[in-house]
A and B are shown apart, each in its own frame.
With several copies, the nearest count.
Chain A
Amino acid sequence: MVEDAKTLLELYRSMVKVRQFEIMAGEHFAKGTIPGFIHLSIGQEASSVGVCSCLRSDDYVTTTHRGHGHMIAKGADLKKMTAELFGKKTGYCRGKGGSMHIADFSLGILGANGVVAGGLPIIAGAGFSIKMRKTDQVAVCFFGDGASNRGPVHEVMNMAAIWKLPIIFAVENNQWASTTPQKDSGSVKNLSKRAAGYNMPGIEVDGNDLLAVKKAALKAVERARNGEGPTFIENNTYRIKGHFEGDPQRYRTKEDVEKWEGKNDPLDRFSQHMLKNSIAKENDLKKIREDVAAEIKEAVIFAEKSPFPEAKEAMEDIYVNDIKGGIAS
């Protein structure tokens, strides 16, 4: 896998976008501009960008409650995302979904999900549909170490394996599920070990190493496109922020978290890689960060200026052939 400098810089840009978007989201949540609750994936950008950069825009992705990164890496529009988080009419879901339900079906993003592991059964359908329609698309489901303990994961992995569906199971083992450490909730340390029970390749990856993730994902994508079936990829990473914004994080120390910052940070690691190998100069990277910052700023202005939906819009989008929400009409 040899990537040219331009491609690598684009990967960096994508990671920066995720990072800056989420920093912005955290700030706006704290300010109260973003209602509800949000979950940030800061520190996990190598996983979302590493995997999604191997995908075409007609490939499918399902994401999770911690889905901003997957969305952005798959190409989502920052304005529509920001507006959605703000609950605005111009958001991806017209303000109906919020952070936990963003989707962009035009980009194959079949939705974030408020139900842990909720995306897996959906990906089974996407994979099956690809097979029926005989295209060479692939379907990726992101999920967490916590999610891996839910029943539907098992059902979908078995089904994908027996039918050789073009699915990539991308588990982000960030070592925590809310307050629960992975080692307490999972009976194996490396979730990729479970793949053997489905006759499926299982790969463990340093999930903060962008190129390592990308390499594993490329192989899995190729396998899927060739009709050879599913792959299970475990991206080992770490959740830097609390489970949700506002999480007091009594379950771990500051020192625990710090180990994953700085030189273990996926963005730092990737920029170091590029600088060391003279793929880019600090100035190139800085320029990218500034460009992205401007883009995010624009997105925020867009969101701020956008109107809230009108109340009566709540009664739209329930059915295609509307039955006007009520039963008696």
Chain B
Amino acid sequence: MNERIISASEALAEALNEEMTKDENVFIIGEDIRVHEGIFAQFKGLPTQFPDRIIDAPISEAAITGVGLGGALTGMRPIVDMHFSDFVTCCMDELCNQAAKIRYMSGGQVKVPMVLWCPDGGGLRAAAQHSQSLEAWFIHTPGLKVVVPSEPSDVKGLIKSAIRDDDPVMFFQHKLLFSKEGHVPEKPYLIPLGKASVKRQGKDVTLLCYGSAYYMCKEAADELHNQNIDAEIVDLRTLKPLDMETIAKSIRKTRNVVIVHEACLTGGFGAELTAIIQDELFDYLDAPVKRVAAKDVPMPFSPVLEDFCLPDASDVVKAVKSIKSS
């Protein structure tokens, strides 16, 4: 078997290359993407390969998002690079009042095949305006789909599906995961939106996670294994649509759930997941659903403080033990 190992950046660049080759209506617009080929090298080779379809725009997030939306409405498949997910605050109207709603408001006259690509998350000592994980806002915005991949192979399969999808997709990729390496099949493949992946089988507790939290859960599961707790890891990959089937199957087996995400706790996606789970699987739960998430603060700069605010594997272990030892 040909088990190729590449980074998430390479996986992304490869996927984009494939999709842009396949469909000449796909283009990428953002700020300062041509020279660096993406600050995480995630667009490597694309400016050379597709000189007219990698677009450097002025610092004008509203207009840039408008190019995505207006482009999508008129025959293109734009990918809008938000640079850092924190800057979605500069184009919320274009995203949430326009892109998310125009299909519905027009009675289904039109499709909006657009990807809003957002590097997000903390750990870079980049402080409060460059470290957020904002997926929960968009979960609460009907009309948008939300994807948050973790491993390089997920990145590749999901970005391709997101590009081909006819609805606006928010695609969040954690800044620290671009350099992560993993197996990525060489043949083109798609991962459908709305399919979770059971990445580790276990019988004692279900760890529900996405994005950077997957790696926390992976580490935690190893540690729990040493302590004779057998954790199952479900990487959600897509938050909207959500793969409730896979989630339910796992919970019916383990009867214990810990949800992990890097976004701050209050009002995060973990809240919604918990609400659904306790409603649909009430009788299967041996313990309350536990949530592990960042502290409810703007992300601080100093390493000591940031490390304290971000969740990590030990928090996951602690949360599991709070329900598995009771």
Contacts and interface: CB of A to CB of B under 8 A. Distances in A.
A158 B58 contact: yes
Contacts of A123: 66, 70
Interface in A285-329: 308-321, 323, 325-329
A125 B112 CA distance: 12
Contacts of A328: 242, 244, 276, 280
B127 A100 contact: yes
Given A121-B65, A321-B166, A151 B60 contact: yes
A91 B129 contact: no
B278 interface: no
B302 A88 contact: yes
B58 A329 contact: no
Given A121-B63, A122-B73, A317 B301 contact: no
B79 to A, nearest CB: 13
Interface string A129-151: 11011000001000000110111
Contacts of B32: 177-180
Contacts of A139: 70
Interface residues of B, number: 87
B102 A111 contact: yes
Nearest to A80: B107
Contacts of B1: none
Contacts, number: 297
Contacts of B130: 100, 114
B165 A98 contact: no
A319 B145 contact: yes
Contacts of B23: none
A314 B70 contact: no
B59 A146 contact: yes
Contact of B308 (A36, A105, A311): A311
A147 B59 contact: yes
B111 interface: yes
Interface in A78-122: 87-88, 91-98, 100-101, 103-106, 110-111, 113-118, 120-122
**What's the interface size class on A, roughly?**
35 or more
B202 interface: no
Q: Interface of chain A, helix or strand or loop or mixed?
A: loop
B304 A115 contact: no
B285 interface: no
Contacts of B266: 326-327
A5 interface: no
A125 B107 contact: no
A314 B299 CA distance: 9
B73 A93 contact: no
Given A115-B87, A328-B242, A179 B36 contact: yes
B59 A124 contact: no
B171 to A, nearest CB: 16
B265 interface: yes
Interface in B64-83: 65-76, 78
B167 interface: yes
B107 A326 contact: no
A201 B15 CA distance: 42
A162 interface: yes
Contacts of A103: 102, 105-106, 109-110
A185 B58 contact: yes
Interface in B271-326: 272, 276, 280, 295-298, 300-309
B98 interface: yes
Contacts of A122: 66, 69-70, 73, 98
A323 B107 contact: no
A60 interface: yes
B302 A100 contact: no
A35 interface: yes
Given A314-B309, A323-B241, A129 B71 contact: yes
Contact of A96 (B105, B111, B242): B105
A101 B105 contact: yes
Contacts of A162: 58
Contacts of B108: 94, 316-317
22 contacts: A35-B302, A36-B301, A87-B304, A100-B129, A103-B110, A110-B73, A114-B128, A115-B98, A121-B67, A122-B66, A122-B73, A124-B66, A125-B78, A128-B70, A128-B71, A129-B71, A130-B74, A132-B71, A152-B63, A158-B60, A180-B31, A316-B108
Interface of B: 27, 31-32, 34-36, 52-53, 56-63, 65-76, 78, 86-87, 89-91, 93-94, 97-98, 102-111, 124-130, 139, 142-143, 145, 165-167, 194, 239-242, 244, 265-266, 272, 276, 280, 295-298, 300-309
Given A156-B66, A179-B34, 13 more contacts: A35-B301, A37-B126, A87-B125, A98-B127, A100-B129, A100-B130, A101-B106, A105-B73, A125-B68, A132-B76, A317-B103, A321-B166, A328-B244
